[in-house]
Amino acid sequence: MLGAMSAIGERLEHVRSRMNAAMARAGRTDALQLLAVSKGHPASAIRDAFAAGQLEFGESYAQELAAKAGELSDLPIGFHFIGHLQRNKVKDVVRWAKLIHGVDRPELADDLARRATERVEVLLEINVGREPQKSGCLPEAASSLARAVSRHPSLGLRGLMTIPPPADDPQASRPHFRALRGLGEHLVGEGLVSRPLVLSMGMSHDFEVAIEEGATLIRVGTDIFGARPAKVANAGA
């Protein structure tokens, strides 16, 4: 246990150092949040990360989120839901998630509002790479989707998230991150999103590029917790 805690703490320190360096390169002094993607890892790993100062964690599966949130209810931590949300899992997710990253269709917004017992904070998932196999609304549909969310007083639209097309070179993600930021600013200009605008973009392999392009929230899993079991999908971290 002590060895695992030390390893996670060391990785967190290294990630934070890289975050600070990227912020300095970009000349940024605004807020940047680190989301530790804990999907596929045991609750004990989250406890180790918490001991190292990490407070926000990301999960991709409703059942796993509920189980970990219940087991770790003694800790003052927040969970984000970062996976593709199926409509039949909405009830479980709204109970535990502090922020839902993947609203990509009006029907899902309707379901979230129907199940909400208090205000639910959400991000729109944007398919900036226009990948047919990937969830997320296309950029040109973002304004319409934002209006659909805004019709529900119980939903708070905080910003946007994206997962760029996979690439070995982190620089390949740069135009996609830049496009998401531009879209976010457009929605702010339309009055559909309020500041501070949340831009959830960047994962273990490309978060430094994302920071340089304006990310306000990065999702890092492997570089904190190590490799996850092969059966866990690779979305969102």
Give the CATH number, domain containing residue 106. 3.20.20.10
What integer best gives the mean pLDDT of the chain?
A: 94
Q: Please report where in the chains the tokens 């306000």 appear, as a residue.
A: 216
If pLDDT is split at 50, 70 and 90, which confidence band does 230 have?
Answer: low
Return phi, psi of residue 162, to 5°.
-155, 160
Predicted confidence at residue 228, as pLDDT, reads 78
> 6 vs 11, which has greater pLDDT?
11
pLDDT greater than 80 at residue 231: no
* pLDDT tens column, 115-142: 999 999 999 999 999 999 999 999 999 9
Q: How confident is the model at residue 81 (pLDDT cuts 50, 70, 90)?
A: very high
Does any domain span residue 231?
no
Q: Is residue 114 part of a domain?
A: yes
Asked if residue 230 belongs to a domain, the reply is no
* Paired sense of beta strands 78-81 and 33-37, if any: unpaired
Phi, psi for residue 3 in degrees, rounded to 5: -65, -40
Structure tokens of 10? 């060391």
Helix then strand count (H, E) for the chain reads: 9, 8
**pLDDT (mean) for 157-171:** 97
pLDDT in tens, 192-229: 999 999 999 999 999 999 999 999 999 999 999 998 76
Domain that holds residue 25: 2-225
Residue with tokens 């406890």: 47
Write the CB contacts of 25 (distance below 8 Å, at least 6 apart in sequence).
Answer: 212
Structure pTM? Answer: 0.92
Let me know if residue 234 belongs to a domain: no
Number of domains in the chain: 1
Q: Please check whether residue 60 lies inside any domain of the structure.
A: yes
Could you tell me if residue 232 is inside a domain?
Answer: no
In a domain, 70, yes or no: yes
Indicate whether 161 belongs to any domain. yes
Quickly list H helices, 72-120.
Answer: 90-96, 106-115
Kindly report the number of other CB atoms within 10 A of residue 130's CB atom: 10
Closest listed residue to residue 158, CA positions, set 217, 86, 205, 106: 217
